[in-house]
Amino acid sequence: MRVEARITIMKNKYARFSLQHIVCAALLIPMAFAQSVVAAEGAEGEKTTIPWQKGPTTAKLGDTALLKLPEGYRFADGEWTRKMLSAAGEPTSGDELGMVRPAEGKWSVFFDFSDDGYVKDDDKDKLNADKLLAAIKKGNDYANKQRKKNGYAPLNIIGWEQKPNYNPETHNLEWAIRAESEGQPILNYNTRILGRRGVTEVVLVCEPSELSTILPTFKELLTGFSYEQGESYAEYKPGDKVAKYGLAALVTGGAVAVAAKTGLLASLILILKKGWKAVAVGFVALLAVIKKLFSGRGSTAS
């Protein structure tokens, strides 16, 4: 399971992040998203144009899911999401499915897919928010020591913005944690949509103060999400691959929770083997790069 979000530990105002980053961020040196401007230039200096799909349309999220995109939204597929990240000097995993942006508003939604298998929801009534937060903070304490050694500011976990909540009808797991670094607020709204062969990881990135305003619109957008035929959670068949963790581990970091019994070091090794990463992708910088590097002659509608 890859890291599904980005973390800001520099001076970006808001960023994609998840608690997996808290454990492994210290092992990798983050890069400012606004770098590598020249990378997006063509051979003759002509800027590349992102082929945004404009709503209303149906956006294809890899080979596993679809998203009905309403009017007023734009979608970049996984390939172009990776190109945007790569142009900014950021590594990618290949798990990116795409990103959505409204025509009006400074927020984005990122879609990734983890193919770890069918995640059983047997622990749906046992999600202890206090214990989960304690585990997250413990991992962050260790990571902050490493950040200090590498010359980076600490990331401080403030607490739940929304405690983990699982809907057994939609098989969606949602939560949000508020954090800060150098006085800058960091807040992502996380949604995990369980499927037959894995989990679609959805991260809403927005100005923390605007979350309550944007959240209803975001949730309405997600009603247009559906798995392809044969890929939904309800279509699980005996013999399918089953993930080695449950819902709680999706909140605390998937593979990290699986390896917890063997100690933190083993967890870190497992993270690296799975290709998890920490990337300093500031949302403000992301918007700037999109506008400056890729607007070119205008977007291409689907």
Query: For residue 90, what pLDDT is reported?
Result: 55
Question: In sequence order, what DSSP letters do the residues of 235-270 get, joined into one string?
Answer: G--TTS-B-S--HHHHHHTTHHHHTGGG-HHHHHHH
Query: For residue 89, what pLDDT is reported?
Result: 59
What does the pLDDT look like over 168-218, one tens digit per residue? 999 999 999 888 888 888 887 999 999 999 999 998 988 888 999 999 999
What does the pLDDT look like over 230-261, one tens digit per residue? 999 999 999 999 999 999 999 986 434 433 33
Query: For residue 277, what pLDDT is reported?
Result: 30
- CA–CA gap between residue 217 and residue 47 (Å, rounded): 32
Query: For residue 196, what pLDDT is reported?
Result: 98
Nearest of 102, 11, 19, 14 to residue 278 by alpha carbon: 19
Residue 76 binned pLDDT confidence (cut-offs 50, 70, 90): very high
Please give the average per-residue pLDDT across 288-295, as a whole number. Answer: 44
The neighbour count for residue 114, using CB atoms within 10 Å, is: 24
Please give the average per-residue pLDDT across 8-14, as a whole number. Answer: 30
Structure tokens at 197: 């062969």
Nearest of 200, 172, 202 to residue 188 by alpha carbon: 202
DSSP lists the bridge partners of residue 57 as 69
Residue 49 binned pLDDT confidence (cut-offs 50, 70, 90): confident
- CA–CA gap between residue 131 and residue 17 (Å, rounded): 20
- CA–CA gap between residue 115 and residue 194 (Å, rounded): 11
Helix or strand run (H / E) with residue 76 = strand 73-77
Residue 14 binned pLDDT confidence (cut-offs 50, 70, 90): very low
Please state the pTM of the whole predicted model. 0.73
Tell me: pLDDT of 300 over 70. Answer: no
Question: In sequence order, what DSSP letters do the residues of 281-302 get, joined into one string?
Answer: -BHHHHHHHHHHHH-TT-PPP-
Whether residue 25 contacts residue 16, with contact meaning beta carbons closer than 8 Å, is answered with: no
The residues spanned by each domain of the chain are 19-294
Looking at per-residue pLDDT, the higher value among 298 and 112 belongs to 112
Cis before 51 (ω within 30): no
Q: Which of 76-85, 141-150, 168-177 has the lowest mean pLDDT?
A: 141-150
- CA–CA gap between residue 13 and residue 252 (Å, rounded): 24
Whether residue 27 contacts residue 268, with contact meaning beta carbons closer than 8 Å, is answered with: yes
Largest pairwise CA distance in the chain:
59
Tell me: pLDDT of 74 over 90. Answer: yes
Helix or strand run (H / E) with residue 148 = helix 129-149
Query: For residue 163, what pLDDT is reported?
Result: 96
What count of Cα atoms within 13 Å lies in the side-chain half-sphere of residue 47? 15
What is the percent of the chain where pLDDT is above 70?
66
Please give the average per-residue pLDDT across 20-26, as a whole number. Answer: 34
Whether residue 5 contacts residue 114, with contact meaning beta carbons closer than 8 Å, is answered with: no
